[in-house]
Amino acid sequence: MVTWTDLLLPSAIATACVFVASALIHMVIKWHNADYWKLSNEDEVRAALRRGSHGPGQYVVPHCLDQKEMADPAMQKKLTEGANAMIYIGPTGMPNMGKLLGATVVYNFIISLFAGYVAKASLGAGAEYLAVFQVVGATTFLAYAGQSAGDSIWKYRPWRVTFRCALDGLIYAALTAGSFAWQWPNA
């Protein structure tokens, strides 16, 4: 029988591996730098957003609550004229990197625990390396990369960004799967 405590060590190892891989991807390889583009009128947009006194949150432009409003000729005109955007506004000031990185570590640990739970529920102690790798790998790939396509479909994210995020998810899934397969309890 595989217990929850059996999942803690591989979850911790996977979390550390994913953290290091993410750091390498974002700070050394930097393949996500091309994911973010600069607005040609960035200062004007920043000034307009500051004048609106918007707090941190998720916004849509033009704002439309339902299909009835979407059918309004004035809304259709706004949509046709553009710009149509999803905007995420963060708090003012320097980002608290310690808090953000800490939250990411907790998030990665939770993903690992849930992937371990799926393997625990489906495989049991003594499962072969490849079986553990497949179950944990598929589960973590869905967790890390699953929403990326939805963001390209609904939030205007370029598909090339989604493919890079899916590659990240594949790397994180392989590291997590390897950690669990390596540390999986014997029968």
Domain count, the chain: 1
Task: Provide the residue range defining the domain that includes 113.
Answer: 4-35+95-183
Q: Cβ(140)–Cβ(112) under 8 Å?
A: yes
pLDDT at position 52 is: 87
pLDDT at position 95 is: 94
Q: In this structure, is residue 133 part of a structural domain?
A: yes
Q: In this structure, is residue 65 part of a structural domain?
A: no
Q: In this structure, is residue 73 part of a structural domain?
A: no
Average pLDDT score over residue span 73-93: 92
Q: In this structure, is residue 108 part of a structural domain?
A: yes
Give, in order, the Cα–Cα distances in Å from 141 to each of 4, 63, 85, 147, 172: 21, 33, 28, 10, 7
Residue 55 CB neighbours (<10 A) = 9
Q: In this structure, is residue 70 part of a structural domain?
A: no
Average pLDDT score over residue span 63-86: 92
Q: In this structure, is residue 78 part of a structural domain?
A: no
Q: Measure the CA–CA gap between 182 and 187, rounded to whole angstroms.
A: 14
- pLDDT band (50, 70, 90) for residue 54: confident
